[in-house]
Each structure stands twice: as structure tokens, then as C-alpha cells.
Chain A
Amino acid sequence: MSEIRFTIDGRPCVARAGQTIVEAAKANGVWIPVLCHYEGLKPVGSCRICTVRVAGRYMAACTQPVTEGMAVENTAPDLEDMRKSLIEMLFVEGNHFCPSCEKSGNCELQALAYRYRMMVPRFPYLWPGRALDARAPRLMLERNRCIQCLRCVRGIRAKDGRKVFAAVERGPRVTIEIDQRLAAGLSDAEARRAMDICPVGAILRKETGFAVPIGKRKYDGAPIGSDVEKGAGR
């Protein structure tokens, strides 16, 4: 397959035809922050944290295919500040109390906030009232922490292909709903996958908690993205 030449912040890179900017960047050892993106799932560009600039235009790097000669801006200070703003927006849009969260240390939102050195969000907290749904036998949906990344909607399906999770309502009222009938049929392994696929602490398995102690979790040792930057993604 033909190679595509492009640059990220001036650095020459190569990509395969059809690769998105995020995929190609990773293959070249360049980290572009992502949150809604999950390998193996169709990208949906919902969090916009991967926003890059090409010829003055902004685009989500997770959905945009690389084209020949593209000059991608990834770390311009104003871009990075936009990403930080989006992370802060997520913190004020939901109710995130990291110290009491089972996902702390494994949470991608928290890890991004650390990496972007978020202190106090520039936006006022919205303090939404969000209902917790613990009806399913193996899973709990803690909507206070949900960021509507749609990973569960895309990734978790019943055996006959129906979606177990779905977005309901629209605009700021959007929430994720779990289909009670289908959730009742989820196996333990599927419940585990649902929890793993969730970047934050919104989908939690019942009856297990803090199996890995705080301090030994995924982002406790090294900041998010450092694996890609070391070229581990190659």
C-alpha cells in the first residue's frame, strides 16, 4: 500500500492510506491526547480533545484521515489550552470526586487533567443532578462521572447484536441508559469489559472494588501518553 507523507509540528511522518491522524501519529511515536477514542471501536469524535489544526482549520484527529502533505499542528500553545479547556469542561459538566472514586488512578479523564496540569477549572461548576442506576445485576451506572464518550454504546452488545447501552435525550440532558433486559444477560466477562472500556468511573462492577490498590494503578507511575511517546505504539 502506498505511503503518505505528512508532518506533525514540522516533524516528517509517514502513514498508510486510510489511517486517521491519531493512528498515524501513534505509529510515528507522537501522542495526541484522546479520551472518547478506544482502539478497535469506530471513532466518533465526541470529546474533541484530540483537536488538531491543519492549514488553520480545526479537526478531530481521531476521525480525520491523513492526506498527502498534511501539516498537522499538535502542540501549539493555544491548541493545548483548548484541550485543557475541554478537560475542564468535562469536570464542571459532571460531578467528579476523584478521592472517592473506584477508578482513581485508572481514570483517563483524571490522568489527562494531571498531564494538562489542571488546577481549578476556569468554568463554574454546573452541579447537575444525575441519577445512579444500580438495577442491573452485575453493573452499576454512576452517571455523575459519565462523560458521554459513547464507548459503551459502541462496544458492548448483546449476543444478538443489540446495543446494551444507548444515549437518551439530547443536548445538555443527554445521558447514557443501560438496557435492563439485555444487562440482565451480561456475563461476568462482559461486565468486566464494560467497566474496562469506560474511561472514567461511570460503569462499575458490583461486588468487587479496589482490587488493585491506589498507588499501583495504570497512571500512578507515568503520565498518560508516555507509552506512545516511548514508541511503544509502534
Chain B
Amino acid sequence: MAKAKDIVHRHPKDPAALLDVVRDVQAAFGHVPDEAVARIAAHLKLSEAEVRGAVTFYHFFSADPRGASTVYLNDSITSRMKGRAAVAKAFEDEAGCAFGRVSGDGRIGLFPTSCIGMNDQEPSAIVDGVVFTRLTPESARALVRGLREGRPAASQVAELGDGANQSELVRAMVANNIRERGPVLFGAHESGAALRKAVGTTPEKVIEEIKRAGLLGRGGAGFPTGLKWEFCRREKAVERFVVCNADEGEPGTFKDRVILTELPRLLFEGMAVAGYAVGARTGVLYLRSEYAYLRAHLEAALEAMRQDGLLGRAAAGSEGFSFDIVIKSGAGAYICGEESALLESAEGKRGEPRDRPPFPVSSGYRNLPTTVNNVETLATAARILVEGAAWFKAMGTPQSAGTKLLSVSGDCGRPGVYEVEYGLTLAALLEMAGGAGAKAVQVGGPSGTCVAQDGFGRKICFSDLATGGSVIVFGPERDIFEIVGNFMDFFVEESCGWCVPCRAGNVLLKKKLEKVVRGLGTEADLRDLEAWGKLVKATSRCGLGQTSPNPILTTMKSFPELYAAKVRKGEDFVPEFDLEAALRTGCEAAGRRPECKESLHE
């Protein structure tokens, strides 16, 4: 095995290399031992405390051993709906340890993880970097047995998925599940056509075309892409960057994964077009760690494009334009999808959001002007250049032009990705996806909206149900409170912890919700939930905290009767715990009888 010293010294003496060094150490040792922390700190001129800060921030790094093999089992609500509990039990039985632990022989570590972008094929897990989908208790047991017998995870992938998932460089059992091919992303595209068209005109004209198309960011916030590029271009600077946000962390979205798998060249061409438009020489693809299995495939696509003259010096034959793309890896943190946290992470730091202003367009990657765009936005931009703004504007609604790639999962017959025009109603989408009869639909993931049946006439578009792409269908039997509880756990787990309302407020909201769900709530508790939710939204520092109370607030709106039925009407106060039960052990030990009923309820 390589020594920590050698691994560390392979990297430049630059603090920006921190996450890359830690990643290599983690891969070699299964954790980041103290000795390595000291070496990394010395090499990068950081304090050991700072190195530990980065190691402990990311879910896939660890100061303690995680086992010779490590299972990360997805903990999204859809995974739970599709039988996660039985699969988890099978893993535990076979490994001989509980989740959060490493087996006694040190061979198997079991850990939960936030949505890994496989919601249409749950339950799923990442085992030593290899994705396993549609797990059953049997396949989980066989997998652990195989690992114990010394068969690497990759060799245990029995059946490959469709499309490029079968290629030599991917070899994944992941399925694309492309259910609806629209004209924008899945329309016939001649590789290089968009970039050649771009370099044949001026950057200003490219920006103008994107603006006229009315392209709004597909990552969730919906900022006009042309305007973002223009702001970035206008900044005086020695260098500018294009950063592609491939962090795709919102539970329930997986559409960027399909683009990365099937249309990487279209995406990279979009990045090059953006690079030409804003005047950048370098593009950075920030790839979530969960999609590391696609990295070799993506590198190969980049290399092929260099061979084709579409990247590198004089890209697309344009003498004055050089552009190339590097891939940076995440390490397990939803917050790194927030653009400024992403930039921090890409610079090798803890993924903590920055204060804005300044916005990334003026001070982004390495404090230089940067346009951060979603995978789908960039791929779409490339298509707009080829087909024209008018073609694009003719689709969708006046305010929400074009098509959207949706990730549909949950209780529906045809989970997968759908490229649909904006303006589609939920009812129509449910019809397409085989989800008629649903009780509720979660649009936009946990940070979005929970829509009940009476809202199924609402439309997917920026002015009504805006979404980064996550659509989770809940059938009639689902327990809304279990869903809300899972979403709140997600935010508690994924908050970066920087600011008070999000760090502490989400914990308090979750506790209050539990009180209500346990039947110990009063009407005052419901008022608290609402007020505290508003407080967290109003005072949090970034988009995570500003939306994290949504699971509670939006279900209180869509399902008021469920909440009303849970609380005790007319009672002023019910403590959050059962005093008698809490005293029981102590009383038994002392040989007394608990007598607290009277004083409590009279």
C-alpha cells in the first residue's frame, strides 16, 4: 500500500489541492488517519485543524476507518418507499453490524447517504464507488458475501443498464429510463455545430441569441442565462471561468445524470459556447462524488472532442479562441450544489456558501468572474445556437420558454426522465408517468412544494411550479408525516452549519414536528411550526435554509386536515415527553410509584 507521505507529495504545495489529497488518502486507507492529516497540513501550509475541518465536512471522507469495503445505502424517501428497510436489514444481518458501523472483522462498513441520483431505480447503494440499483434483500446479502470472499464490487455487477451505461468505461447497472425524448435535448445534434456557429459570430451576438430565446437557468433558481453571461463578460478581468454545476443533489433529481451519460459532448459543447460568450479559457465541471463512476467516460468524451478540434487551442477552428475543460470532484455534500459553496469546494475548501454580493459573475472561481450554470442549461444553450431563438421560444409558455427535463420517481408505473414543454399540468404528467390516482406530488424535491390532488391542474413552469426537475409521486397509502420527517432529516444532515437559523432551527422544527406526530401537539404547536418555519426561511443565509422549512409549511397548506387531526384541541399545553414514562425507571429503582398524572393534567 502507498504511504501517506508519497500520496501527499504527489500533489502540488497548494491549499487548493486539499480535497484532492484527502480524496487520495481516503481511497488508499479507507479513512484519513491523524498521521496523514499532519502531513497534508505541513505540505499545504494549512493548520491541522483546517485539514480536519475539510475531512469532516464531506460525507465520503472520514477520520475513522469505514471498513475495507464501504456500503453507502441511499436514504431518500423514494428508497424507503421501494423497500429500503428490508434491504438495510439484509445488509446488517450479513455484515454483522448496524448502519453507521464497521463490522467486527473490519471488512464491511455500512453507512446511510443522501439521495444518490438513482430515485427511479431504488433502493440503491454505492459500494466502493460502484452503483448498485434495485437492490433486494437477497442481492444485498449476496453482495456482502461476495465482498467477504474477496470479489471486488465492480465484478459483482451482474447486468448492465442501457445506452452508454454499457460502454467499457462505465459498465454500470444504472438504467437511463428515458421515457420522453423532446426536441431540445434529445433532438438530432451534429457535434460541433453549435460551437462552430458561435465562433462564426461575435460573443455579443451569442449572448443576444440566448437572451432572445428566453433561456432561464435549469438548476432551480431560474436566472436568465444570457444576462448572467453578459454580466460575466462585462467584468474587467485577466481571466474568466465557466463552471458547470453537476452536483445534482436535490433528492429526486437524476436528469443531469442522464445528460452526463448520454449527451456529454452536447454538454461540453455548451460549456465551450458559454466560454466563447463570456471570454473564458477554462471550464470546470463540478461532478458530484456519487457520479464518479462516469468520470472516465466524461474524460474520454473530452479527449475525443480535443481530437476533433472542438476543445483546446483554436477550438472549432477559431484562431483567437482556446478553451478546455477540467473535471473537479465533490465528496458528498448537498450544499455544494449551491453555486458559491460549489466554488469554495472547487477551490479545495469546506463547501460553505459565500456572502453575496459579490456574485460569482464578478467574483467566482478563484475570485475571478465566473458563470455557474446547470448541466441542462448548458446543453440547452448549445441547442439554441443551432436551431435559433425563435424555434426555442415557440415551445413552452411565454415566460417559460422551451422544454424541461424532469426526473419522475415514486409511486408511478414509468419512473424516469421526461423532456416536456413547460406549461404541462401535473395531471398530464401523472398520466404520462403512470401515476394517476396519486395522493400528492412533491415538485422540486424537499425544498420545493408538496401538491395535493386539488392542485394537479397546476403547471410546471417558472411562474407556477418551478422545479430543478425533481418530481416524486406519492400513492394513496403514503404517510405524509413520514415523508416530511425524511425531508427534514435531510436538511438537518445537509445544512453546512454556518448560520444559526438553519443549523439549530431545522433541528427545532424537526423536534416540534415529531411532537405533533406523536400526538403530543396542541394548536399552539402548529402555530409555532408556522412561525419558526417563517423565521428560518427569512433569516437563513443561503437557499438551503431559505427553503428547508418547505416540507412542513407546504404540507400544512396542502393537508391542513392531517395536522388538525393530530393535535389535541382545547388543550393549552402538553409536554413534549411523557413524564410518567420518563420517570418509570428511576421510580422502579427507588421502589416508588410514579405519581405525576394529577399535577400534569388537572
Contacts and interface: CB of A to CB of B under 8 A. Distances in A.
Given A51-B539, A63-B355, A181-B48, A166 B495 contact: no
B499 A47 contact: yes
A123 to B, nearest CB: 5
Contacts of A86: 500-501, 535, 539
Interface stretch (B51-59, B456-464, B558-566, B590-598): B51-59
Interface string B544-587: 00000000000000000000000000000000100000000000
B218 interface: no
A90 B540 contact: no
A171 B492 contact: yes
Contact of B49 (A46, A60, A179): A179
A172 interface: yes
B46 interface: yes
A41 to B, nearest CB: 13
Interface in A162-203: 162-174, 177-182
Contacts of B506: 172
B508 interface: yes
Contact of A158 (B47, B333, B357, B576): B47
A166 B52 contact: yes
Interface string A46-63: 111101000000101001
Given A89-B500, A89-B504, A162 B539 contact: no
A79 to B, nearest CB: 9
Contacts of B52: 166, 168, 177
B540 A172 contact: no
B503 A160 contact: no
Contact of A166 (B50, B503, B538): B50
Contact of B333 (A51, A58, A93, A170): A170
A65 B356 CA distance: 10
A19 interface: no
Interface in B341-357: 350, 355, 357
A122 interface: yes
**Mostly helix, strand, loop or mixed at chain B's interface?**
helix
Contact of A93 (B45, B350, B500): B500
A59 to B, nearest CB: 10
A172 B495 contact: yes
A163 B50 contact: yes
B493 interface: yes
B223 interface: no
Contacts of A13: none
A171 B507 CA distance: 10
Contacts of A162: 41, 45-47, 50
Interface residues of B, number: 41
A178 B49 CA distance: 6
Interface residues of A, number: 48
Contacts of A65: 357
A148 B333 CA distance: 20
B498 interface: yes
B57 A169 contact: yes
A82 B538 contact: yes
Contacts of B497: 148, 167, 169-174
A45 B541 contact: yes
Of B49, B497, B576, the most chain A CB neighbours within 10 A belong to B49
Contact of A177 (B53, B504, B505, B540): B53
Contacts of A82: 535, 538-539
Interface in B519-547: 528, 532, 535, 538-541
A223 interface: no
Interface string B307-322: 0000000000000000
A155 interface: no
B496 interface: yes
B494 interface: yes
A89 to B, nearest CB: 5
B115 to A, nearest CB: 16
A92 B508 contact: yes
B196 interface: no
Contacts of B496: 170-171
Nearest to B541: A45
Contacts of A89: 500-501, 504-505, 508
B49 A90 contact: no
Interface of A: 43-49, 51, 58, 60, 63, 65, 82, 85-86, 89-90, 92-93, 122-124, 126, 147-148, 150, 158, 160-174, 177-182
- Closest 9 pairs (CB-CB, A-B): A174-B497, A166-B49, A179-B49, A162-B47, A179-B47, A93-B504, A171-B495, A166-B53, A63-B355
Given A148-B498, A171-B493, 8 more contacts: A46-B498, A46-B541, A47-B500, A60-B355, A162-B47, A163-B47, A165-B49, A180-B48
14 contacts: A51-B538, A51-B539, A85-B535, A89-B500, A122-B528, A148-B500, A162-B41, A165-B49, A170-B56, A170-B335, A171-B495, A172-B503, A172-B504, A177-B49
Interface of B: 41, 45-50, 52-53, 56-57, 333, 335, 350, 355, 357, 492-501, 503-508, 511, 528, 532, 535, 538-541, 576
